[in-house]
């Protein structure tokens, strides 16, 4: 029974540490022990976020960042799911492509960024390509394992019920692999965000990553923290959104959405 009185209490008892950390930050910032320019108070950071938002700066740069994230992630999702299915379905193909994954996995693909810039310029495309390349790995690998694990009994029973090949694929293999595919998405999306921010920080003319480095170079520290706060909020929101979408689509195998639950 969750009454109106016990609910906030239960919620606080589960999230109190977040408020402790925020409170400590504020305490240190206002104590005068540290230079407020190096350690701005939360109020100062919030004010900068507001300034950025009011001047449209935040919208412009966040849009650029999000466009790159979604374009790269979308391309990787299409390519990765297709590749994963093919690898699981055709063994020879799988064996030919597998070394690319097992040897390529530990190689930091960011190393290819200078070449991407040379080929595709410092605009959207170089970032999107690198994001797609980086996200391809978890998505393809998880799809591969998900498809391989699709229970053979399901396949047989579907075939014995007279399903065509296309039907077996769409109605059995796809749903059976879906939880694993979404695990791949869940790993890939934060990676997409990291790569976009990284590449924007290295060289760009737009995007939140660029905004943060620009603010840092022009010594407006509060703006650096505001940019970090914006990136954090977007990263968190993206992850939550994907988790909700996942549970809508894969309703037979729900995962906990609770912030503080070890069982997810």
- Residues lying near another protein in the complex (CB under 8 A): 13-18, 21, 38, 92, 94-100, 103, 105-115, 118-119, 149, 190, 193-194, 197-198, 201-202, 208-209, 212-213, 215-216, 221, 224-225, 227-228, 231-232, 235-236, 238-240, 259-260, 262-263
**DSSP state letters, 186-253:** HHHHHHHHHHHHHHHHHS-SSSHHHHHHHHHHTT-HHHHHHHHHHHHHHHHHHHHHHHHHHHHHTGGG
State phi, psi for 205 to the nearest 5 degrees. Answer: -125, 0
Contacts of 212 (CB under 8 A, 6+ apart): 197, 201, 224, 227, 228, 231
- CB–CB of 172/56 below 8 Å? no
State phi, psi for 17 to the nearest 5 degrees. Answer: -65, -30
CA atoms of 33 and 52, how far apart (whole Å):
28
State the minimum distance, in angstroms, from the CB of residue 226 to another protein: 11
Quick one: which of 140, 134, 138, 130 has its CA closest to 79? 140
- Closer Cβ to another protein, 95 or 170, answer by number: 95
- Closer Cβ to another protein, 112 or 163, answer by number: 112
- Closer Cβ to another protein, 122 or 163, answer by number: 122
- Closer Cβ to another protein, 66 or 163, answer by number: 66
- Closer Cβ to another protein, 50 or 236, answer by number: 236
State the minimum distance, in angstroms, from the CB of residue 252 to another protein: 21
State the minimum distance, in angstroms, from the CB of residue 171 to another protein: 25
> Rounded to whole angstroms, what are the CA distances from 42 to 20, 50, 59, 258?
13, 12, 21, 26
CA atoms of 211 and 99, how far apart (whole Å):
38
State the minimum distance, in angstroms, from the CB of residue 175 to another protein: 20
- CB–CB of 158/168 below 8 Å? yes
Cβ density class 71-83: b for 16+ within 10 Å, e for less:
bbbebbbebbbeb
State the minimum distance, in angstroms, from the CB of residue 221 to another protein: 6
- Closer Cβ to another protein, 81 or 225, answer by number: 225
State the minimum distance, in angstroms, from the CB of residue 163 to another protein: 27
Q: SS3 for 180?
A: helix
State the minimum distance, in angstroms, from the CB of residue 231 to another protein: 4
CA atoms of 68 and 211, how far apart (whole Å):
15
- Closer Cβ to another protein, 173 or 199, answer by number: 199
State the minimum distance, in angstroms, from the CB of residue 250 to another protein: 19
- Closer Cβ to another protein, 100 or 170, answer by number: 100
């Amino acid at each position: 029974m969750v009454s109106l009185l016990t609910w906030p209490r239960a919620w606080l008892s589960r999230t109190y540490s977040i408020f402790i950390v925020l409170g400590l930050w504020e305490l240190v910032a206002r104590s005068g022990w540290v230079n407020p320019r190096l350690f701005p108070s939360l109020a100062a950071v919030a004010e900068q976020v507001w300034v950025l938002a009011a001047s449209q700066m935040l919208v412009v740069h966040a849009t650029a960042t999000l466009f790159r994230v979604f374009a790269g992630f979308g391309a990787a999702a299409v390519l990765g799911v297709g590749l994963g299915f093919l690898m699981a379905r055709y063994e020879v193909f799988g064996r030919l492509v597998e070394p690319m994954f097992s040897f390529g996995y530990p190689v930091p693909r960011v190393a290819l960024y200078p070449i991407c810039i040379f080929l595709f310029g410092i605009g959207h495309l170089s970032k999107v390509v690198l994001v797609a390349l980086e996200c391809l790995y978890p998505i393809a690998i998880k799809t591969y394992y998900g498809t391989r694990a699709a229970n053979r009994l399901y396949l047989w029973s579907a075939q014995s019920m007279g399903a065509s090949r296309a039907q077996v694929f769409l109605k059995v293999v796809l749903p059976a692999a879906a939880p694993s595919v979404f695990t791949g998405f869940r790993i890939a999306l934060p990676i997409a965000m990291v790569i976009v921010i990284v590449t924007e920080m290295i060289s760009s003319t737009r995007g939140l990553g660029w905004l943060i480095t620009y603010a840092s170079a022009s010594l407006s520290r509060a703006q650096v923290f505001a940019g970090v706060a914006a990136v954090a909020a977007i990263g968190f929101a993206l992850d939550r959104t994907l988790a909700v979408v996942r549970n809508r689509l894969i309703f037979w195998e729900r995962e906990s959405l609770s912030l503080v639950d070890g069982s997810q």
